[in-house]
Amino acid sequence: MNIEEFKEGKTLIVDKPLNWTSFDVVNKLRWNLKRRLKVKKIKVGHAGTLDPLATGVLVICTGKHTKLIESLQAGEKTYTGTILLGKTTPSYDLETEYDQDFPTDHIDEILLEEIRASFVGEQDQMPPIFSAKQVDGKRAYDLARAGKEVKLKTNRITITDFKIDHSRFPEIDFEISCSKGTYIRSIAHDFGKALNSGGTLIALRRTRSGDQRIEDAKSVDYWIDTIRDAEGNAPRAIEK
Protein backbone atom coordinates (compact mmCIF):
# COMPACT_ATOMS: atom_id res chain seq x y z
CA MET A 1 0.00 0.00 0.00
CA ASN A 2 1.32 3.42 -0.97
CA ILE A 3 1.61 5.79 1.97
CA GLU A 4 0.40 8.64 -0.25
CA GLU A 5 -3.05 6.99 -0.21
CA PHE A 6 -3.35 7.89 3.47
CA LYS A 7 -2.33 11.48 2.76
CA GLU A 8 -4.81 11.81 -0.12
CA GLY A 9 -7.61 10.18 1.81
CA LYS A 10 -8.55 6.78 3.18
CA THR A 11 -11.35 5.36 5.31
CA LEU A 12 -10.07 2.90 7.91
CA ILE A 13 -12.29 0.48 9.83
CA VAL A 14 -10.79 0.03 13.30
CA ASP A 15 -11.81 -2.44 16.02
CA LYS A 16 -11.49 -0.03 18.95
CA PRO A 17 -9.81 -1.58 21.99
CA LEU A 18 -11.34 -1.56 25.45
CA ASN A 19 -10.40 1.44 27.62
CA TRP A 20 -9.26 3.54 24.65
CA THR A 21 -11.14 6.73 23.81
CA SER A 22 -12.02 7.38 20.19
CA PHE A 23 -9.54 10.27 20.26
CA ASP A 24 -6.83 7.92 21.54
CA VAL A 25 -7.21 5.95 18.31
CA VAL A 26 -7.22 9.09 16.16
CA ASN A 27 -4.15 10.48 17.90
CA LYS A 28 -2.22 7.21 17.67
CA LEU A 29 -2.83 6.86 13.94
CA ARG A 30 -2.20 10.57 13.28
CA TRP A 31 1.15 10.43 15.11
CA ASN A 32 2.28 7.43 13.04
CA LEU A 33 1.14 9.04 9.79
CA LYS A 34 2.94 12.31 10.56
CA ARG A 35 6.10 10.42 11.42
CA ARG A 36 5.95 8.32 8.25
CA LEU A 37 5.08 11.23 5.95
CA LYS A 38 7.47 13.62 7.74
CA VAL A 39 4.81 16.30 7.95
CA LYS A 40 3.63 18.49 10.83
CA LYS A 41 -0.07 18.16 10.04
CA ILE A 42 -2.43 15.64 8.49
CA LYS A 43 -6.19 15.49 8.77
CA VAL A 44 -7.46 12.47 10.74
CA GLY A 45 -10.88 12.16 12.34
CA HIS A 46 -13.46 9.61 13.45
CA ALA A 47 -17.05 9.16 12.27
CA GLY A 48 -18.90 8.50 15.51
CA THR A 49 -17.61 8.30 19.08
CA LEU A 50 -17.38 5.08 21.09
CA ASP A 51 -17.16 5.25 24.88
CA PRO A 52 -13.89 4.03 26.44
CA LEU A 53 -15.68 0.97 27.87
CA ALA A 54 -17.03 0.01 24.43
CA THR A 55 -15.23 -1.89 21.68
CA GLY A 56 -15.90 -2.44 18.01
CA VAL A 57 -16.35 -0.53 14.78
CA LEU A 58 -14.74 2.90 14.79
CA VAL A 59 -14.56 4.55 11.37
CA ILE A 60 -11.42 6.68 10.90
CA CYS A 61 -10.96 9.05 7.96
CA THR A 62 -7.71 10.58 6.73
CA GLY A 63 -6.93 13.38 4.29
CA LYS A 64 -9.75 14.38 1.98
CA HIS A 65 -11.90 11.53 3.31
CA THR A 66 -12.49 13.61 6.45
CA LYS A 67 -15.07 15.43 4.31
CA LEU A 68 -17.09 12.19 4.39
CA ILE A 69 -17.33 12.08 8.18
CA GLU A 70 -20.73 13.76 8.45
CA SER A 71 -22.36 11.39 5.95
CA LEU A 72 -20.67 8.34 7.52
CA GLN A 73 -21.90 9.36 10.96
CA ALA A 74 -25.49 9.46 9.73
CA GLY A 75 -25.70 5.70 9.15
CA GLU A 76 -27.62 3.32 11.39
CA LYS A 77 -25.60 1.55 14.10
CA THR A 78 -25.80 -1.98 15.50
CA TYR A 79 -24.53 -2.95 18.95
CA THR A 80 -24.31 -6.06 21.08
CA GLY A 81 -23.86 -5.99 24.81
CA THR A 82 -25.10 -6.83 28.29
CA ILE A 83 -27.39 -5.03 30.74
CA LEU A 84 -27.25 -5.93 34.43
CA LEU A 85 -30.68 -5.57 36.01
CA GLY A 86 -31.16 -4.62 39.65
CA LYS A 87 -28.35 -2.07 39.92
CA THR A 88 -27.64 1.46 38.71
CA THR A 89 -24.65 3.78 38.47
CA PRO A 90 -24.59 7.57 37.90
CA SER A 91 -22.94 7.08 34.50
CA TYR A 92 -25.32 4.24 33.51
CA ASP A 93 -22.25 2.02 32.92
CA LEU A 94 -19.19 0.81 34.86
CA GLU A 95 -17.32 4.12 34.65
CA THR A 96 -18.78 4.90 38.08
CA GLU A 97 -19.58 2.74 41.11
CA TYR A 98 -22.97 1.15 41.75
CA ASP A 99 -25.11 3.53 43.78
CA GLN A 100 -28.49 1.78 44.12
CA ASP A 101 -29.96 -1.73 44.27
CA PHE A 102 -33.43 -2.67 43.06
CA PRO A 103 -35.60 -5.81 43.23
CA THR A 104 -35.71 -8.17 40.24
CA ASP A 105 -37.93 -10.98 41.65
CA HIS A 106 -41.01 -9.60 39.89
CA ILE A 107 -39.41 -9.68 36.42
CA ASP A 108 -40.46 -12.61 34.25
CA GLU A 109 -40.22 -13.50 30.56
CA ILE A 110 -43.60 -11.93 29.76
CA LEU A 111 -42.67 -8.59 31.32
CA LEU A 112 -39.26 -8.59 29.65
CA GLU A 113 -40.84 -9.13 26.23
CA GLU A 114 -43.47 -6.45 26.83
CA ILE A 115 -40.86 -3.86 27.79
CA ARG A 116 -38.46 -4.91 25.00
CA ALA A 117 -41.18 -4.38 22.39
CA SER A 118 -42.03 -0.94 23.82
CA PHE A 119 -38.52 0.29 23.01
CA VAL A 120 -38.81 -0.33 19.27
CA GLY A 121 -39.70 2.74 17.20
CA GLU A 122 -39.21 6.50 17.27
CA GLN A 123 -38.88 8.13 20.68
CA ASP A 124 -37.30 10.90 22.75
CA GLN A 125 -34.23 9.86 24.72
CA MET A 126 -32.48 11.69 27.55
CA PRO A 127 -28.68 11.41 27.23
CA PRO A 128 -26.63 10.39 30.29
CA ILE A 129 -25.24 13.28 32.33
CA PHE A 130 -21.87 11.53 31.95
CA SER A 131 -21.75 12.27 28.22
CA ALA A 132 -19.87 14.54 25.84
CA LYS A 133 -22.92 16.76 25.32
CA GLN A 134 -22.15 20.49 25.49
CA VAL A 135 -23.73 22.46 28.36
CA ASP A 136 -22.92 26.18 28.34
CA GLY A 137 -19.69 25.49 26.50
CA LYS A 138 -18.59 22.65 28.77
CA ARG A 139 -18.79 18.87 28.46
CA ALA A 140 -21.61 17.36 30.51
CA TYR A 141 -19.30 14.71 31.98
CA ASP A 142 -16.93 17.39 33.32
CA LEU A 143 -19.81 19.07 35.14
CA ALA A 144 -21.13 15.73 36.41
CA ARG A 145 -17.70 14.68 37.72
CA ALA A 146 -17.45 18.01 39.52
CA GLY A 147 -20.76 17.29 41.25
CA LYS A 148 -22.60 20.09 39.47
CA GLU A 149 -26.18 19.94 38.25
CA VAL A 150 -26.47 18.99 34.59
CA LYS A 151 -29.54 19.80 32.53
CA LEU A 152 -29.74 18.17 29.11
CA LYS A 153 -32.30 18.12 26.33
CA THR A 154 -33.77 14.97 24.86
CA ASN A 155 -32.75 13.57 21.47
CA ARG A 156 -35.19 12.15 18.93
CA ILE A 157 -33.99 8.64 18.11
CA THR A 158 -35.25 5.53 16.34
CA ILE A 159 -34.70 1.92 17.39
CA THR A 160 -35.37 -0.37 14.44
CA ASP A 161 -34.54 -3.70 16.10
CA PHE A 162 -34.02 -4.84 19.70
CA LYS A 163 -33.36 -8.47 20.59
CA ILE A 164 -32.71 -9.78 24.10
CA ASP A 165 -31.55 -13.04 25.66
CA HIS A 166 -32.46 -13.48 29.35
CA SER A 167 -30.85 -16.91 29.81
CA ARG A 168 -28.23 -15.35 32.16
CA PHE A 169 -30.74 -13.28 34.16
CA PRO A 170 -30.28 -10.79 35.81
CA GLU A 171 -27.76 -10.16 33.03
CA ILE A 172 -29.60 -9.44 29.77
CA ASP A 173 -27.64 -9.90 26.55
CA PHE A 174 -28.90 -7.82 23.64
CA GLU A 175 -28.48 -6.78 20.04
CA ILE A 176 -29.87 -3.40 19.01
CA SER A 177 -30.01 -1.40 15.77
CA CYS A 178 -30.62 2.31 16.13
CA SER A 179 -30.22 5.75 14.64
CA LYS A 180 -27.36 8.20 15.02
CA GLY A 181 -27.22 9.84 18.43
CA THR A 182 -28.64 6.92 20.41
CA TYR A 183 -27.02 6.36 23.80
CA ILE A 184 -26.99 2.65 24.61
CA ARG A 185 -26.19 3.51 28.24
CA SER A 186 -29.51 5.35 28.37
CA ILE A 187 -31.25 2.33 26.83
CA ALA A 188 -29.84 0.18 29.65
CA HIS A 189 -30.91 2.67 32.32
CA ASP A 190 -34.37 3.24 30.84
CA PHE A 191 -34.91 -0.49 30.27
CA GLY A 192 -34.29 -1.20 33.94
CA LYS A 193 -36.54 1.67 35.00
CA ALA A 194 -39.37 0.48 32.72
CA LEU A 195 -39.14 -2.89 34.48
CA ASN A 196 -39.63 -1.13 37.85
CA SER A 197 -36.04 -2.01 38.68
CA GLY A 198 -32.63 -0.67 37.69
CA GLY A 199 -30.30 -1.29 34.79
CA THR A 200 -26.58 -0.78 34.12
CA LEU A 201 -24.69 -1.32 30.88
CA ILE A 202 -21.82 -3.68 31.69
CA ALA A 203 -20.60 -4.58 28.17
CA LEU A 204 -20.91 -2.96 24.74
CA ARG A 205 -19.57 -3.70 21.26
CA ARG A 206 -20.45 -1.87 18.04
CA THR A 207 -20.75 -4.39 15.24
CA ARG A 208 -21.92 -2.06 12.48
CA SER A 209 -21.76 1.64 11.60
CA GLY A 210 -23.61 2.33 8.37
CA ASP A 211 -22.11 0.00 5.77
CA GLN A 212 -19.00 -0.69 7.84
CA ARG A 213 -19.08 -4.01 9.71
CA ILE A 214 -16.99 -5.61 12.43
CA GLU A 215 -15.96 -8.39 10.02
CA ASP A 216 -14.00 -5.78 8.06
CA ALA A 217 -12.44 -4.06 11.09
CA LYS A 218 -8.73 -4.34 11.90
CA SER A 219 -6.84 -3.66 15.12
CA VAL A 220 -5.01 -0.41 15.80
CA ASP A 221 -1.75 -2.35 15.61
CA TYR A 222 -2.71 -3.69 12.18
CA TRP A 223 -3.14 -0.15 10.82
CA ILE A 224 0.09 1.03 12.45
CA ASP A 225 1.96 -1.88 10.89
CA THR A 226 0.33 -1.10 7.54
CA ILE A 227 1.52 2.51 7.73
CA ARG A 228 5.02 1.38 8.63
CA ASP A 229 5.02 -1.31 5.95
CA ALA A 230 4.19 1.31 3.35
CA GLU A 231 7.40 3.01 4.45
CA GLY A 232 9.30 -0.18 3.63
CA ASN A 233 11.05 -0.47 6.98
CA ALA A 234 8.74 -2.74 8.92
CA PRO A 235 7.48 -6.32 8.54
CA ARG A 236 4.46 -6.81 6.34
CA ALA A 237 1.25 -6.09 8.26
CA ILE A 238 -0.67 -9.12 9.39
CA GLU A 239 -4.30 -9.23 10.26
CA LYS A 240 -5.31 -9.58 13.88
State the Cα–Cα distance between residues 171 and 160, nearest whole angstrom: 22
Strand locations in 186-228, DSSP E? 199-209, 212-213
Strand locations in 1-120, DSSP E? 11-16, 44-46, 54-62, 77-85, 87-88, 100-101
72 close to 47: Cβ distance less than 8 angstroms: yes
Helices (H), 106-168: 109-118, 140-145
Catalytic residue among 51, 93, 190, 225: 51
108 tagged catalytic: no
State the Cα–Cα distance between residues 176 and 167, nearest whole angstrom: 17
List active site positions.
Answer: 51
